[in-house]
Amino acid sequence: MRIEQTILANLIFDEDYARRVLPFIQIEYFQDHTEQILFQEIDKFVTKYNGLPTKETLLIEINKKESVPEQTFKSLIEYIDQLSFEKKDPTWLTDNTEKFCQERAVYNAIMESINIIDGNSKTYNKEAIPSILAESLSVSFDNHIGHDFIENADDRYEFYNRVEDRIPFDIEYMNKITKGGLPNKTLNVLLAGTGVGKTLAMCHFAASNLLDGKNVLYITLEMAEERIAERIDSNLLNIPLDELQGFPKKIYDDKINRLKKKTTGKLIIKEFPTATVGSGHFRHLLNELSLKKNFRPDVVYIDYINLCTSSRLKYGSNVNSYTYIKSIAEELRGLAVEKNLPIISATQLNRTGFTNSDPGLEDTSESFALPATVDFMCALISTEEMEQLGQIMVKQLKNRYNDPSIHKRFVVGVDRAKMRLFNAEQSAQTNIVDDRPVMDKAEFGQRYDEEENMKWMTKKAARRDFSKLFNS
């Protein structure tokens, strides 16, 4: 007996099996026209009456179909008459049905792709082939259709107490505000003005991840691969950036060899032209690295998000920047979920935020939809005073991992010569005013001073009025 006959017979006689597999079976999986009609009638009956049809019911329903040719009707009668039920192992039956669906889905996708290549498809173009094949490979009998709050209480408790895989920072306060690092399936963005240190911070974090034994993929759309590698070299090898040119080859090789012994991780840097690639290209790159180099990153850096393209929308075709950047952010977060890893990127401040020493979410350039989509966002702030002290202030803007009011602002040290961040002394954190609103566009500390002055003036006026009243 063919597997198709076994499936159709059990869809009629075995209700548990039918309810378990029917949602995943498509009519296209059956090649024989007779089997397609029979499956269609079974599916229609179950959907309408919430029960299984009998052989007699199917014959009556098929007899009502005037569009069925006489020869096909005879074939259906013979086919239904031959269907018989023999109890089989439920697990074996379900597994083989799933295998049948997977094989047929891949076969149909390949045939559809051939039609597209030959120019015979009226629905798809060649760019749709990867998604068609990917969809066919994802066919699976997933029984999870929701979390039962009462029945799954034990699973929920286990989740609460499970140690979650995270990508840690080497900066103390960054770990504090993220509860130990960045979790998988997340999109995280650094917000800063030009020249403040977005690339510096990402290169430093990538270098730290590498030393921690992680596999790191750094995608650059702004600078050449060699320039990113140069910054990471400066960080890891403890060599000032401007001294790498002309540095003695033997000493350089010795440092690289010592670095190899310190880590088991790998760092791949890939350059793409600006505004030419998006999540689809990154997905293809990840697949290629897996196949050709057996390299699967633990974390991905994209420098930076506004220079990506959308895989769904064409820029300039009646699409504004808000919608376009929103689409890019959603696609990248979807990629992070699909590949089960954190993605870290950056974005620019807008014109107002560039001159503001206390930027907020509203100072994000091009699209406010970006902070609405990301899981974690912080601003890097630099002033002339901080530059002299060798510091950068970090301000939390959005945080799904922890309460953003805890350590809302903190200071980290920066060594720009070696492209490196480091923990600032605790005394540097003591003078930070940490009770102002997150979305505060006032100059740094200005609103705090204004509020204190207003309180003092109010008290002074109250004392003056009371004195006049008393003297009268």
Q: Can you give the pTM of this predicted structure?
A: 0.67
> Domain holding 21: CATH number?
1.10.860.10
pLDDT of residue 357: 81
Pair (205, 271) in one structural domain = yes
Q: Which one of 121, 137, 153 terminates a domain?
A: 137
77 burial (CB, 10 Å; 0-12 / 13-18 / 19+) is middle
How far apart CA 280 and CA 292 sit, in angstroms, is 18
Quick one: which of 218, 238, 215, 239 has its CA closest to 228? 218
Residues 54 and 174 in one domain: no
Q: Which pLDDT value is given to residue 452?
A: 57
Q: Do the domain assignments include residue 449?
A: no
The answer to whether residue 463 is domain-embedded is no
The tokens describing 46, both together, are: 């179950």
> 197 and 117 share a domain?
no
Residues 198 and 102 placed together within one structural domain of the fold: no
Burial of 440 (0-12, 13-18, 19+ CB in 10 A): middle
432: domain CATH number is 3.40.50.300
Whether residues 74 and 199 share a domain: the answer is: no
Residue 322 resides in a domain: yes
Residue 98 lies in a domain: yes
Judgement on whether residues 204 and 93 belong to the same structural domain of the protein: no
**Is residue 62 located within the same domain as residue 176?**
no
Q: What is the pLDDT of residue 152?
A: 85
Check whether residue 113 and residue 210 sit in a common domain.
no
Please give the residue range of the domain that contains residue 436.
166-441
Same-domain pairing of 248 and 100: no
Count CB-CB contacts under 10 A for residue 155: 11
| Long-range contacts from 91-100, C-beta under 8 angstroms, 24+ separation | 93/6, 93/10, 93/17, 94/17, 94/20, 94/21, 94/141, 96/3, 96/6, 97/3, 97/7, 97/21, 97/25, 97/141, 98/21, 98/24, 98/139, 98/140, 98/141, 100/3, 100/4, 100/7, 100/29
Answer yes or no: do 282 and 346 share one domain. yes
CB atoms within 10 A of CB 103: 14
In a domain, 468, yes or no: no
On whether residue 36 sits in a domain, the answer given is yes
Q: Give DSSP secondary structure letters for 335-402.
A: HHHHHTSEEEEEEEB-HHHHT-SS--GGGBSS-THHHHH-SEEEEEE--HHHHHHTEEEEEEEEESSS
Cα angle: 314, vertex 319, 324; to 5 degrees? 75
Give the number of domains in the chain.
Answer: 2
Domain termination site, one of 122, 137, 152: 137
Q: Please report where in the chains the tokens 């999986």 appear, as a residue.
A: 29
361 and 254 within one domain: yes
**In this structure, is residue 459 part of a structural domain?**
no
Instruction: Find the radius of gyration of the CA atoms of the chain.
Output: 31
Same domain, 31 and 173: no
Has residue 201 been placed in a domain?
A: yes
Per-residue pLDDT of the chain (472 residues; tens, 9 = 90+): 789 999 999 999 999 899 889 888 999 999 999 999 999 999 999 989 988 999 888 888 888 887 878 888 888 888 988 888 888 888 899 999 999 999 999 999 999 899 889 888 877 788 788 878 888 887 887 666 677 888 888 888 887 787 778 999 999 999 999 999 999 999 999 999 988 999 999 999 999 999 999 999 999 999 999 999 999 999 999 999 999 999 999 999 999 999 999 999 999 999 999 988 999 899 999 999 998 999 999 999 999 899 999 887 876 667 888 889 999 999 999 999 999 999 999 999 988 888 788 888 999 988 888 999 999 999 999 988 889 999 999 999 999 999 988 899 999 999 999 999 999 888 888 767 554 444 444 454 554 455 555 555 555 555 555 455 445 4
